[in-house]
Amino acid sequence: MTTAPLKFRKMNGLGNEILVVDARGSRASPSANTVRAIAERPETRFDQLMALFDPKTPGTAAYVRIYNADGSEVGACGNGTRCVGWVLAEELARAQVSIETAAGVLAISVKDQSCISVDMGEPNFDWDKIPLAEEFRDTRAIELQIGPIDAPVLHSPSVVNIGNPHAIFWVDDTAAHDLGRFGPLLEHHPVFPEGANISLAKVTSREAVAVRTWERGAGLTKACGTAACAAAVTGARKRFLERTATVTVPGGNLVVEWTPKNRIIMSGPVELEGEGLVTL
């Protein structure tokens, strides 16, 4: 269905390219082909498109559908959620807003453009909820490797669902592996029936971890908010990290707290790059 042109904001969260499209009041229902075409245009290039629709749940400011650059729809995007939170907080002149996604209702707190905090919900470590294709009782390290059996290049990732599936490979040097080559293979590995975000993580202290990510449906990215959350909670679960950690991604730093109530709070900046009109 072709709709009237809708306002977009071109933004980024630590270099993770986000396109926020305001489809509230419209009947837009973008196809995968439409989403891919928008992603291919220089002026609307994105890693994730955050489409705002009229709220479904009382008390929320919008229902948000999230699309990757390949046209696939996903349940969560941490950096995109921060961008949406800032847009809505500015519009409503409020420091606290809530949105709803396929992953549930998310609360967002906006101090200023340099500090937006999102309650990303609860991590899910159950193998069938991640999901995995076969049962693994301990998802802190599953049997998966790249390379020779006796000398694997990457092995034993931690897995978790943060609104989308993640596999975290713990390494000594995140730059020492060709993630652009291994990422697509691992994203589509048979053990991940819905695909997975693939990250390399290096613990640098009890309160810090460096992460590089191949994002499902988007490829190499400067920042992936849910991957930062995944690395922080799985690192804490393996006792590598404290429950609050600074996660350094190629685009900068995020702070992730895994609270005693099992909630994940992610904090970081956003940047507005431009505005325009687009048809979904």
Q: Which residues are catalytically annotated? A: 77, 224
And the tokens for 205? 């202290």
Amino acid letter, residue 227: A
Assess contact for 66 and 77: CB atoms under 8 A: yes
Site of tokens 């807003």:
97
From residue 116, give the alpha-carbon distance in Å to each of 139, 186, 224. 30, 31, 15
Helices (H) and strands (E) in the chain, counts: 4, 19
| 3-class SS letters over 112-123 | ECCEEEEECCCC
d(CA 37, CA 3): 15
* Residues forming beta bridges with residue 62, ordered by sequence position: 99
Element (H, E) at 84: helix 78-92
- Main-chain dihedrals φ then ψ at residue 228, nearest 5 degrees: -60, -45
Q: What angle do CA 71, 210, 130 make, to 5 degrees?
A: 45
And the tokens for 125? 């470590």
From residue 2, give the alpha-carbon distance in Å to each of 40, 218, 265. 19, 25, 37
Q: How many CB atoms lie within 10 A of CB 104?
A: 15
- Main-chain dihedrals φ then ψ at residue 33, nearest 5 degrees: -65, -40
